Amino acid sequence: MVSHFEQFLAMGGYAKYVWSAYGLGVIVIIGNGIYTARIKRDAIAKLKRRYRT
């Protein structure tokens, strides 16, 4: 089982290329997700401040 998983990680010798491509994909997806949440949070905070005064 362990060797099976190691084989998976090795990607037939292309590990460096495959995992760096997937890593970049994950960064772009997660990063944009976090940024979207921040836009929403900031907008709500700004509007709440506005209506409080």
Give residues in contact with other proteins (CB under 8 A).
Answer: 8, 11-14, 17-18, 20-22, 24-25, 28-29, 32-33, 36, 39-40, 42-44, 46-48, 50-51
Q: How far is the CB of 2 from other proteins (least distance, A)?
A: 16
Q: How far is the CB of 22 from other proteins (least distance, A)?
A: 6
Q: How far is the CB of 18 from other proteins (least distance, A)?
A: 5
DSSP letter for each residue of the chain: -HHHHHHHHHGGGTHHHHHHHHHHHHHHHHHHHHHHHHHHHHHHHHHHHHHH-
